[in-house]
C-alpha cells in the first residue's frame, strides 16, 4: 500500500478507499493526490474515527483529472453512486414537482412530476405538491385557466362547475376566444416568472382601452381580474423584493445528526421549504476535520459548513441551481465556481445577508431547528421501542443500532399471483432499499405453508453458507406473520440449514383476532409471550408486520394485474383510465402490441387524442 501511495502523481484527482470485503469506505478529492493520500498514512490517528477508517483500508483506487473542478464533480458523482461510510451523504431526491402549462390551442394548468421536455412550459421546481396546487388555485382565481384533461375538454357540451364559480373561462364551449385565452395564458406565465407589476400595468391599460371604447362589460371583467390579482399579491406571506429566483439554505447540527432546510423563491414568490437529513455526519466530520489539520488550515471549516458544501455539491450537481444562494454558513468559493462551470449558471452565495434576505434566512434557520428537534425526538422514541422489544424477548445484542429484524408475509388472491415479501428493520427504522419480493411458483394455489418454506429456503440457503464463512450477517431474529403452523414450517427450514431456531418468532392473532391481543410464538420451545396492548415492543412488532403485509399486497396486486391484462404499465400514464386501457389492449392484442404501435396508430383508437398518443408512446419506449 505504501509503495502504491509513494508512486502517486502530484496532480489533481479523486481517491477511493476500500476495505477487505471491497466495500468503499471513503471518497475524497485532492489538488495534489500524492500529498493528500500519503498524509493519511504518515500520522498516528489513534482511536479516532479516522484512525478506525485507516486501519480498515485494504485497497486504494485513484483517478487523475484535469482540474479541481473536475475532481469535485467526480467526487460527488461517486459519493452518490457508492454511498461511502465516511462521507456525508444526502439521499438523491430529485422528484420535485412542477407546474405545467400543457401545449394546446387552449393550454391547461397541471401538476407534473418527472423529466421535463421542450414541448410544454414548466415552472418550478416547487418544494412540495401543496405549493404546486396552491399556485394552480391562485392562477385559476386570477386568470381562469382550465385544469381539465383533454379528453374531458373535447367532449363537454356545457361548462362545468368551475365556470360557475368563476375559476374557468369556459373555453370548452366557446365562451372565450382563442385570442383572449392566449392572452390570459401569457399573463399567467409572466406572473409565474415574477413580473407581477408588469402584468397589473398591462391589465390596467387594457381596462382603460375598453372603457374608452364604451366596452364596459369587458372593462368590468378586467377590473375583476385586477382585483383578484391585487388580493392574491396582498396575501403573499413573504415579500421577495427584486430577487426572483433564489434558494435559502440553513443548516443545523445537533446530537450527531444534521438538517439542511432548503427554502425556494421562484418567480419572486416564496414557495415554502423542505428539510433534508444527511447520513454519516459524525464519521465524515471527523475525517474532514483531520483533513484540515493535515492541510494546516488555520481557520477550520465548521461541521455545518461541511454539511452545507456536501448538500450544495450533491443537490445541484445535475443542474436546477438558481443564480442566488443565501446560506447560513460560509461555503468554499471553488465549489461555487465548479458548479457554475458545470451548470452554466453564474452562482453567487450570500452569507450574513441583510434586509429581506436576512428575514428569509432567519425563517429557514428556524425551520431547520424545528425539523431537527422533531427528528431527534422521533429517533429517541424509535430507539426506546427497539430497546423495549430486545428486553421483552430477553435478547442479547451489543449494538442496538445494528439490531436487525427480517419479516416475511405471503399474499395471493384465491391462490392466484402468490408473492412473498421480506422487509428489513435496522438502525431503528425500516430499510426500504433492502426490501425483497419473491414470486412463488410450483406450489398448490393457496398453500401458505409451502410458500413460506420456499421463500425462507431461498432467502437463507446462501446466506447461511456465507455467514458460516464470516462473509455475511444473519438477522437478530426472523419474524413470520402467522402462528404455530408458519413457525413450525420455518423451524423445519432452519433445521435443514443448520441455523439457530431461537431466531424464529411468529405473530399469532389473539382472541377474536383483535388488534393489540397478538402473542409471539417461538420455534425453540419457549412459552408464548403476550406483550400487552400498550407495549412499545408490540407497537414495533405491529409496525414491521403491517409493513410486510403492505409490501406483499402491493406486489401481489401488480403481478395479478400484469398476469390478467398485461396493462400495468398503462395504468401509470395520466389520462389512460380503465376504458381507454381496455380499448388499447383490445385493438392491439395486448401490451406488446400497444408498445409496437406508432403514434399515428395509437391516435386512431377511440378516445385517444394525438397528444395522449404521444404520451403513451413515450411512456412505453
Distance CA 493, CA 461 (A): 9
Distance CA 2, CA 383 (A): 42
Name beta bridge partners: 27: 16
pLDDT at 366 over 90: yes
Local confidence band at 250 (pLDDT 50, 70, 90 cut-offs): very high
Phi then psi for 444, rounded to 5 degrees? -70, 130
Local confidence band at 202 (pLDDT 50, 70, 90 cut-offs): confident
When pLDDT is averaged across residues 514-520 and rounded to a whole number, the result is 73
Instruction: Please report the pLDDT score of residue 516 as a whole number.
Output: 64
Name beta bridge partners: 351: 327
Name beta bridge partners: 282: none
Domains and CATH numbers, the chain: 2-82 (3.40.1440.10), 246-373 (3.30.420), 400-562 (3.30.420.340), 566-619 (1.10.150.20)
Distance CA 435, CA 390 (A): 22
Higher pLDDT, 495 or 356: 495
Report residue 90 as a C-alpha cell: 444526502
Work out the number of other CB atoms within 10 angstroms of the CB of residue 67. 12
When pLDDT is averaged across residues 225-237 and rounded to a whole number, the result is 58
Give percent above pLDDT 70 in the chain.
Answer: 88
Instruction: Please report the pLDDT score of residue 417 as a whole number.
Output: 66
When pLDDT is averaged across residues 114-138 and rounded to a whole number, the result is 83
Asked whether the beta carbons of 119 and 341 are under 8 A apart, the reply is no
**pLDDT of 149-190, one tens digit each?**
888 898 888 989 999 888 899 999 999 999 989 988 998 888
Local confidence band at 562 (pLDDT 50, 70, 90 cut-offs): low
Q: What share of the chain is helix, strand, coil (3-state, %, to 5)?
A: 50, 20, 35
DSSP state of 502: G
**What is the pTM assigned to this prediction?**
0.63
Asked whether the beta carbons of 132 and 97 are under 8 A apart, the reply is yes
Higher pLDDT, 312 or 290: 312
DSSP state of 409: E
Give burial (CB, 10 Å; 0-12/13-18/19+) of 27: buried
**pLDDT of 50-101, one tens digit each?**
777 888 888 899 999 888 778 888 888 888 888 888 888 887 655 678 889 9
Distance CA 488, CA 504 (A): 10
Instruction: Please report the pLDDT score of residue 391 as a whole number.
Output: 84
Calculate the average pLDDT of the chain: 82
| CA angle, 570 then 576 then 578, to 5° | 85
Instruction: Please report the pLDDT score of residue 297 as a whole number.
Output: 39
**pLDDT of 126-136, one tens digit each?**
888 888 888 88
DSSP E strands in 427-565: the ranges are: 429-430, 436-439, 477-480, 504-508, 519-522, 529-530
Instruction: Please report the pLDDT score of residue 91 as a whole number.
Output: 73
Instruction: Please report the pLDDT score of residue 558 as a whole number.
Output: 61
pLDDT at 394 over 80: no
Distance CA 123, CA 120 (A): 10
pLDDT at 298 over 50: no
How is the beta sheet containing 97-101 ordered, strand by strand? 109-113, 97-101, 121-123
Amino acid at each position: 500500500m505504501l509503495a502504491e501511495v509513494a508512486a502517486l502523481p502530484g496532480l489533481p484527482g479523486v481517491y477511493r478507499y476500500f476495505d477487505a470485503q471491497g466495500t468503499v469506505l471513503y471518497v475524497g478529492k485532492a489538488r495534489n493526490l500524492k500529498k493528500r493520500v500519503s498524509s493519511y498514512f504518515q500520522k498516528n490517528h489513534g482511536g479516532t474515527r479516522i484512525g478506525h477508517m485507516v486501519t480498515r483500508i485494504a485497497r486504494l483506487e485513484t483517478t487523475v483529472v484535469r482540474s479541481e473542478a473536475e475532481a469535485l464533480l467526480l467526487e460527488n458523482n461517486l459519493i452518490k453512486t457508492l454511498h461511502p461510510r465516511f462521507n456525508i451523504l444526502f439521499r438523491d431526491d430529485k422528484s420535485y414537482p412542477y407546474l405545467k402549462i400543457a401545449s394546446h390551442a387552449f393550454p391547461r394548468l397541471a401538476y407534473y412530476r418527472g423529466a421535463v421536455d421542450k414541448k410544454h412550459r414548466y415552472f418550478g421546481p416547487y418544494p412540495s405538491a401543496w405549493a404546486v396546487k396552491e399556485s394552480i388555485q391562485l392562477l385559476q382565481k386570477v386568470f381562469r385557466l382550465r385544469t381539465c384533461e383533454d379528453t374531458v375538454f373535447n367532449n363537454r357540451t356545457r361548462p362545468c362547475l368551475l365556470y360557475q364559480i368563476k375559476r374557468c373561462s369556459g373555453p370548452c364551449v366557446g365562451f372565450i376566444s382563442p385570442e383572449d385565452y392566449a392572452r390570459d395564458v401569457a399573463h399567467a406565465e409572466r406572473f409565474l416568472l415574477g413580473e407581477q407589476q408588469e402584468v397589473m400595468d398591462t391589465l390596467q391599460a387594457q381596462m382603460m382601452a375598453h372603457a374608452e371604447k364604451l366596452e364596459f362589460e369587458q372593462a368590468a371583467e378586467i377590473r375583476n381580474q385586477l382585483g383578484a390579482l391585487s388580493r392574491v399579491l396582498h396575501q403573499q406571506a413573504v415579500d421577495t423584493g427584486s430577487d426572483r429566483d433564489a434558494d435559502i439554505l440553513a443548516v443545523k447540527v445537533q446530537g450527531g445528526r444534521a438538517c439542511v432546510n432548503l427554502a425556494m423563491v421562484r418567480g419572486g414568490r416564496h414557495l415554502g421549504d423542505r428539510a433534508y437529513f444527511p447520513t454519516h455526519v459524525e464519521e465524515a466530520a471527523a475525517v474532514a476535520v483531520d483533513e484540515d489539520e493535515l492541510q494546516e488550515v488555520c481557520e477550520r471549516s465548521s461541521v455545518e459548513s461541511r454539511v452545507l458544501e456536501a448538500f450544495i455539491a450533491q443537490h445541484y450537481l445535475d443542474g436546477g441551481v438558481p443564480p442566488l444562494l443565501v446560506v447560513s454558513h460560509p461555503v468554499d468559493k471553488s465549489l461555487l465556481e465548479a458548479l457554475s462551470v458545470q451548470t452554466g449558471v453564474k452562482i453567487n452565495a450570500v452569507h450574513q445577508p441583510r434586509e429581506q434576505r436576512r428575514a428569509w434566512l432567519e425563517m429557514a434557520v428556524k425551520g431547520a431547528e424545528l425539523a431537527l428537534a422533531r427528528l431527534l425526538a422521533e429517533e429517541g422514541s424509535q430507539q426506546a421501542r427497539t430497546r423495549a422489544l430486545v428486553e421483552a424477548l430477553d435478547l442479547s445484542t451489543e449494538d442496538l443500532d445494528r439490531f436487525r429484524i427480517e419479516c416475511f408475509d405471503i399474499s395471493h388472491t384465491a391462490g392466484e399471483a402468490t408473492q412473498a415479501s421480506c422487509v428489513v428493520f435496522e438502525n431503528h427504522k425500516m430499510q426500504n432499499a433492502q426490501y425483497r419480493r419473491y414470486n412463488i411458483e410450483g406450489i398448490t394455489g393457496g398453500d401458505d405453508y409451502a410458500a413460506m418454506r420456499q421463500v425462507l429456503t431461498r432467502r437463507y440457503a446462501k446466506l447461511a453458507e456465507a455467514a458460516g464463512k464470516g462473509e455475511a450477517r444473519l438477522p437478530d431474529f426472523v419474524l413470520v406473520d402467522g402462528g404455530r403452523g408458519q413457525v413450525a414450517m420455518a423451524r423445519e427450514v432452519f433445521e435443514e440449514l443448520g441455523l439457530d431456531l431461537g431466531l424464529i418468532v411468529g405473530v399469532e392473532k389473539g382472541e377474536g383476532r383483535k388488534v393489540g391481543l397478538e402473542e409471539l410464538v417461538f420455534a425453540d420451545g419457549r412459552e408464548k409471550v403476550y406483550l400487552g396492548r400498550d407495549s412499545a415492543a408490540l407497537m414495533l412488532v405491529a409496525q414491521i408486520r403491517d409493513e410486510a403485509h403492505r409490501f406483499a399486497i402491493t406486489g401481489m396486486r401488480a403481478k395479478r394485474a400484469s398476469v390478467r391484462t398485461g396493462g400495468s404499465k398503462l395504468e401509470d400514464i395520466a389520462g389512460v383510465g380503465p376504458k381507454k386501457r381496455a380499448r388499447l389492449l383490445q385493438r392491439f392484442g395486448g401490451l406488446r402490441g400497444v408498445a409496437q404501435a406508432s403514434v399515428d396508430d395509437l391516435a386512431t383508437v377511440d378516445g385517444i387524442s394525438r397528444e395522449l398518443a404521444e404520451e403513451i408512446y413515450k411512456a412505453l419506449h
